[in-house]
Structure 1
Amino acid sequence: MRSESVYWKRNQPLAESYIHAFREVQHLYEYNVRDDADWRARAEWLDASEGMGVQGRATGQAGVKGQAVGRASVHEQTLGRADRGAVADVLEAYNRANGAGDEALANIARLRERGTLTVVGGQQAGLFTGPMLVIYKAVTIIQTARRAATELGSPVVPVFWIAGEDHDWDEVNHTFVRDSASQIHKLKIEHPTGARTAVSRLHIDSDAWAAALHELSVHLPDTAFKPVVLGQLRAYAEASATLSQFFARAMAGLFKAYGLVLLDSDDPNLRALESPMFARLIGANAALADALQAAKDRIEAAGFAPAAEVVPENANLFVFRDGERVLLQRDGADFTDKRGAFRLSEAELLAAAERDPSTLSNNVMTRPLMQDYVLPVLATVLGPGEIAYWSLTKDAFRRFGMRMPLIVPRREYTLAESTLAKHQTKFGLSTEDVLFRLEEAKQAWLSRQDTLQLSERFEEAKAQFRALYAPILELVGSIDGGTAALSLTNQQKILDQMDFLENRAQGAYHAQFDAQLRQWERLAQSFLPMDKPQERVYLVYDFINRYGEAWLHDLLLEEEEQTYGLHNIWYL
């Protein structure tokens, strides 16, 4: 497929600087993703630090000091990671249960061996996989792992971290799809219980799945691929009790040939392995808060606004209580919720971490630390917002004897369909025209079609009318104030009628260009649906239904050098 890359400025200033002016923000991060030496330094640090520490006591004082490794030294007490074999057992069970292929299982076997590293990225489990950016994150993870394995000469496994512990149902319960007329439709599953709990704990019944799939079937255009697409999705739904399970099965199906390993952050078997890290996060909770505050101060001193809220008393952990996921705060030596509805001592919380860690959950500040505890993370793939809020975690990583991994910006794509590319050529539009100034270009095109110069003619007539009417206004105004006001109202009514006639004339004239205007509308609906980047709206199965999966495999097999920070246009 033909492709090109363009610069598309992000709305997140810190991420924009990270990608395009790294020296300005280098002190907020650990490694330079563009520096080959930093990739080797990270790999060497992971290898040297593996097994150096012990599992750690609740007070967070366990660990030993390390020696200089590559560019960095392990100055802090180092926490040993979760046992590779145990993690691999959990991943194997989870991936087998969700339809993983042989390549993913082979990668899990490689993870059992010391020296195997991972590239990790994650996302919430959206309906039918959610917007395309989720797919592009997986593509970036796979591409990065493959490239790193080649350059480092050692195994690097791609891992997708499903954020099943998140409780924001409204973020994941919907998706968007186009019909044959390019009209956009929102598909949605209602909350099954109303409880504010992890998405992975919310049961979706067969009727809800059937209704969502029926609506998808109604709106997807009829193509040769449609029966296969719908058959796959129905099979996933029949085997899935939750959105997370459906998401895992769909991702396993899409990336079966590429060895993508899946992980659900709310998997109770995984939680059992996270117990020591939860104990560290609880025992050193005040120090964690201090580390986040120090990072916040440094970010603000650099002229940026922190991308996530840092509250001194926030414990940065959740607890599941009465079926809901509740954010914890520190209150003296205890932990409580915002309303003070319950209170737990540090000893009680530590006991929960040891006895039943599935009652605990991470927030956005502690999830990166837990990820690094569970897996040997060479690099993490992040979107712009994530790049910004990860800058808050550098000191926290160090406080727990870790190092923030390399951060790889997620690749961005827009799929340009062949018929739309023809429209683009017909109207003489560059890629930048389509992406950044399409409405302006459309209005300019319409103006060029206006050979009758209706706007100018009507404006001229209105000017002549005002000139002819001015003496009447002056004459009537000399009679009395009431009559003067009436004359002004009369003039405005006549002008309003002229405006009405102009609009009707313009509409009738533009009706001659209905076919072309529909082409402009299709360009907008494809490239900038709902005035957003395509990747943030549409569903991957929208394009698979139209074009099959060949384009996705082309993206995955792309071997070009990573173009960090550029937006990639792929012509189907």
Structure 2
Amino acid sequence: MRTETYSMPGVQPLTEAYIHRTDSRVEALYGYHAGAEQDWDRRLKRLEESGNVRADAAAIAGVLRAYNEKAGAAPEVFASIAAIAEGAPVVVGGQQAGLWTGPLLVIHKAVTIIAAAKSASEQLGREVVPVFWVAGEDHDWEEANHAFVITAEQELRKLASVRPEGSRTSVSRTAISLEDWEKLLADLELALPHSEFKPALLDELRTMSQKANSLSDMFAMLLSHLFGKRGLVLLDADDRDVRGLEAPMFRQLIERNDELEQAYSASSERIKQLGYTLQAEVTPGSANLFLFQSASGDERTLLHKRDGGFQDRKGQISLSAAELLQIADEQPQQLSNNVLTRPLMQDYLFPVLAAVLGPGEIAYWALTGEAFRILGMEMPIVVPRMSYTLVEGTVAKHLDKYELTFEDVMERFEERKGKWLKLQDGLSIERQFAEARQSFETLYKPLLELAAGVQPSLSKLGDTNLQKIVEQINYMGSKTVDAFNKQFEASIRQLDRIHLSIKPQGKPQERVLNMTAYWNRYQLIWLEKLLEAPYHRTGGHEIVYL
């Protein structure tokens, strides 16, 4: 298998400082470091000493069995769940449920979770279980409802599900009808190029859609299908049975809310003092908890603290601390975490050895260290998610043909494309028109001076006349260049295909393209290559050639 390592430019300075250990002041925000082998031993020992602060492992395992069975889990998953019941540590990472898994980065996160768990197991000499946290409690429908694929015509097409009418509830609670699934599948069938694997892919998705009541259901079934044999355990954060086990932690989050707010605020000030930008908002008075309003169709509403109680921003909901605690005890399914309390909840449900996070997540997790300590916990080891670019055989051939490197495509594609076209111009069209324009101006300007000498008012008219003639020369030159370039339309299409495949919409492939395009062409060979690609505990980017 052919792979290459590429240094992708970092976009989060705080994350880069953590990964590369370039700022010793940052290490205190996290505690452990993924690249320090001794920290894995130290974290495991800490977990073994702090089992009393977490939920009952056997109870968690029972909920996981039911959920993963519904998702069509493989036997290896149930073996992983049995290990969790016995207290096995886990590597966890998660993502919002997207249409057909959403962008490729979701697949990359699952691959990293599995690789990190395997690496830790080998070092520690005991089983470490990979867990994927499906963030089904999130309510950002526009972020979850679509997938991008490249069509046979080499166009990027967005396939999306319209949000059903009703309240802004979680993705897991937003129902998708069978008719909606059929429409999405019809759109996908039209968009994907014909291939020998296309009928089987569509049949698989259609079978899943008949059981999927939501994007989260489909998301879980797909992850189970793709990664079940690797023992990846799935959990939906909005599962009612999971919520029942979270009740004691919700109680802590409410009772100690002021202390937690102070911790988040202190951490945010510290990060700013270190010269870094915050990646999550720390809002004064925010409870960092959501409430599902059953009276308005389970709308998910952020709670704020006012006058000793809890309210929504508009003041339409008003609960005393005692009333909110009662909800936590009796109806925990009405509560939901935000980005700052979710890490705490994960550590309560599982003995989290390490958390696999993307660049933005690593930056905002820096806000949570003190909050962990207040609750008698410790932030787990933060593992940067691996990223990959899949390069198809045709694209690789075109890269060689036009003498382009991967870096050229990522950083200077238009420049290299323009340079290649100019090199084909044996007629030197642009140069000849430029010389003609210069010669004309040289000959014409003395005539303008002559005209102005005869009548000064002709000076302005002469300048306008000169400008118009130069514009016409430029116009003719541009049309001549366009006509010349049409001879190279096939080459231009090949060059544009390179860019569309590797950097669609001017973004890394993983942030845009959906995995169905690769499944359609390569069955699941593309996934096996990702799973076999090099893994690094401190993250990195690998170019994987198909």
Q: TM-score range by the shorter chain?
A: over 0.9
- Once residues 235 and 129 of structure 2 are traced to their aligned partners in structure 1, the CA distance between those partners, rounded to angstroms, is 13
In structure 2, the residue corresponding to 1:236 is in which secondary structure? Answer: helix
Could you tell me which residue of structure 2 aligns to residue 476 of structure 1? 451
Q: CA deviation at 1:490?
A: 1.8
> Does the C-alpha gap of structure 1 residues 262 and 565 become closer, same or farther in structure 2, counting only changes over 3 Å?
closer
Contact 2:501 2:509 in 1 (8 A): yes
Could you tell me which residue of structure 1 aligns to residue 380 of structure 2? 405
Could you tell me which residue of structure 1 aligns to residue 51 of structure 2? 50
Could you tell me which residue of structure 1 aligns to residue 133 of structure 2? 161
Could you tell me which residue of structure 2 aligns to residue 36 of structure 1? 37
| Bigger shift: residues 422-431 or 369-378 | 422-431
Could you tell me which residue of structure 2 aligns to residue 217 of structure 1? 189
In structure 2, the residue corresponding to 1:216 is in which secondary structure? Answer: helix
Which residue identity does 1:416 align to in structure 2? V
In structure 1, the residue corresponding to 2:172 is in which secondary structure? Answer: helix
Q: Which runs of 5+ in 2 are unaligned?
A: none
Contact 1:169 1:191 in 2 (8 A): yes
Contact 2:148 2:156 in 1 (8 A): yes
Q: Deviations over 1:504-546 (max 9, x none)?
A: 1101111111111111001000110110000111111111111
Q: CA deviation at 1:181?
A: 2.6
- Once residues 514 and 55 of structure 2 are traced to their aligned partners in structure 1, the CA distance between those partners, rounded to angstroms, is 35
| Bigger shift: residues 361-370 or 450-459 | 450-459
Tell me whether 1:136 sits opposite 2:111 in the alignment: no
Q: CA deviation at 1:23?
A: 4.2
Which residue identity does 2:345 align to in structure 1? M
Tell me whether 1:569 sits opposite 2:524 in the alignment: no
Contact 1:140 1:411 in 2 (8 A): yes
- Once residues 412 and 198 of structure 1 are traced to their aligned partners in structure 2, the CA distance between those partners, rounded to angstroms, is 28
Which of 287, 301, 309 in structure 2 is aligned with 1:315?
287
- Once residues 148 and 285 of structure 2 are traced to their aligned partners in structure 1, the CA distance between those partners, rounded to angstroms, is 39
Tell me whether 1:414 sits opposite 2:419 in the alignment: no
Which of 306, 312, 315 in structure 2 is aligned with 1:331?
306
Q: CA deviation at 1:484?
A: 3.0
In structure 2, the residue corresponding to 1:185 is in which secondary structure? Answer: strand
- Once residues 489 and 437 of structure 1 are traced to their aligned partners in structure 2, the CA distance between those partners, rounded to angstroms, is 38
Which residue identity does 2:483 align to in structure 1? A
In structure 1, the residue corresponding to 2:62 is in which secondary structure? Answer: helix
Could you tell me which residue of structure 2 aligns to residue 252 of structure 1? 224
TM-score (norm 2): 0.97
| Bigger shift: residues 509-518 or 235-244 | 509-518
Could you tell me which residue of structure 1 aligns to residue 268 of structure 2? 296
> Does the C-alpha gap of structure 1 residues 49 and 22 become closer, same or farther in structure 2, counting only changes over 3 Å?
farther
Could you tell me which residue of structure 2 aligns to residue 112 of structure 1? 85
- Once residues 537 and 357 of structure 2 are traced to their aligned partners in structure 1, the CA distance between those partners, rounded to angstroms, is 15
- Once residues 264 and 509 of structure 1 are traced to their aligned partners in structure 2, the CA distance between those partners, rounded to angstroms, is 57
- Once residues 156 and 313 of structure 1 are traced to their aligned partners in structure 2, the CA distance between those partners, rounded to angstroms, is 38
In structure 2, the residue corresponding to 1:201 is in which secondary structure? Answer: coil
- Once residues 561 and 111 of structure 1 are traced to their aligned partners in structure 2, the CA distance between those partners, rounded to angstroms, is 24
Alignment of 1:434-513 (within 5 A): 434-478=409-453, 483-513=458-488
Which of 205, 210, 214 in structure 1 is aligned with 2:177?
205
- Once residues 484 and 492 of structure 2 are traced to their aligned partners in structure 1, the CA distance between those partners, rounded to angstroms, is 12
| Bigger shift: residues 401-410 or 428-437 | 428-437
Contact 2:97 2:136 in 1 (8 A): yes
- Once residues 177 and 130 of structure 2 are traced to their aligned partners in structure 1, the CA distance between those partners, rounded to angstroms, is 32
In structure 2, the residue corresponding to 1:120 is in which secondary structure? Answer: strand
Q: Deviations over 1:321-372 (max 9, x none)?
A: 1221000111131111112122111000000000100110000000000010
Q: CA deviation at 1:564?
A: 2.8
Which of 368, 376, 379 in structure 2 is aligned with 1:393?
368
Contact 1:414 1:569 in 2 (8 A): yes
In structure 1, the residue corresponding to 2:394 is in which secondary structure? Answer: helix
Which of 361, 380, 401 in structure 1 is aligned with 2:355?
380
Could you tell me which residue of structure 2 aligns to residue 234 of structure 1? 206
Tell me whether 1:431 sits opposite 2:431 in the alignment: no
Q: Deviations over 1:211-261 (max 9, x none)?
A: 111111001011111011111111111110100001001111111211110
> Does the C-alpha gap of structure 1 residues 218 and 561 become closer, same or farther in structure 2, counting only changes over 3 Å?
closer
Which residue identity does 1:143 align to in structure 2? A
Q: Deviations over 1:130-186 (max 9, x none)?
A: 000000000000011111111111111100000000011010011100112321100
TM-score (norm 1): 0.93
Instruction: Please report the RMSD computed on the Cα atoms of aligned residues, expressed in angstroms.
Output: 1.3
In structure 1, the residue corresponding to 2:377 is in which secondary structure? Answer: coil
In structure 2, the residue corresponding to 1:249 is in which secondary structure? Answer: helix
- Once residues 33 and 103 of structure 2 are traced to their aligned partners in structure 1, the CA distance between those partners, rounded to angstroms, is 29
Could you tell me which residue of structure 2 aligns to residue 552 of structure 1? 527
Could you tell me which residue of structure 2 aligns to residue 266 of structure 1? 238
In structure 1, the residue corresponding to 2:366 is in which secondary structure? Answer: helix
The count of residues paired between Structure 1 and Structure 2 equals 542
Q: CA deviation at 1:10?
A: 1.7
Q: CA deviation at 1:482?
A: 5.1
> Does the C-alpha gap of structure 1 residues 471 and 452 become closer, same or farther in structure 2, counting only changes over 3 Å?
same
Contact 2:61 2:85 in 1 (8 A): yes
Contact 1:290 1:312 in 2 (8 A): no
- Once residues 174 and 449 of structure 2 are traced to their aligned partners in structure 1, the CA distance between those partners, rounded to angstroms, is 75
Tell me whether 1:345 sits opposite 2:317 in the alignment: no
Contact 1:164 1:200 in 2 (8 A): yes
| Bigger shift: residues 407-416 or 21-30 | 21-30
Contact 1:334 1:343 in 2 (8 A): yes
Which residue identity does 2:313 align to in structure 1? K
- Once residues 374 and 564 of structure 1 are traced to their aligned partners in structure 2, the CA distance between those partners, rounded to angstroms, is 25
Contact 2:145 2:161 in 1 (8 A): yes
In structure 1, the residue corresponding to 2:217 is in which secondary structure? Answer: helix
| Bigger shift: residues 356-365 or 205-214 | 205-214
| Bigger shift: residues 328-337 or 354-363 | 328-337
Contact 1:9 1:16 in 2 (8 A): no
- Once residues 232 and 517 of structure 1 are traced to their aligned partners in structure 2, the CA distance between those partners, rounded to angstroms, is 36
In structure 2, the residue corresponding to 1:315 is in which secondary structure? Answer: strand
Which residue identity does 2:405 align to in structure 1? S
Which residue identity does 2:364 align to in structure 1? Y
Could you tell me which residue of structure 2 aligns to residue 27 of structure 1? 28
Q: CA deviation at 1:12?
A: 1.2
- Once residues 448 and 182 of structure 2 are traced to their aligned partners in structure 1, the CA distance between those partners, rounded to angstroms, is 69
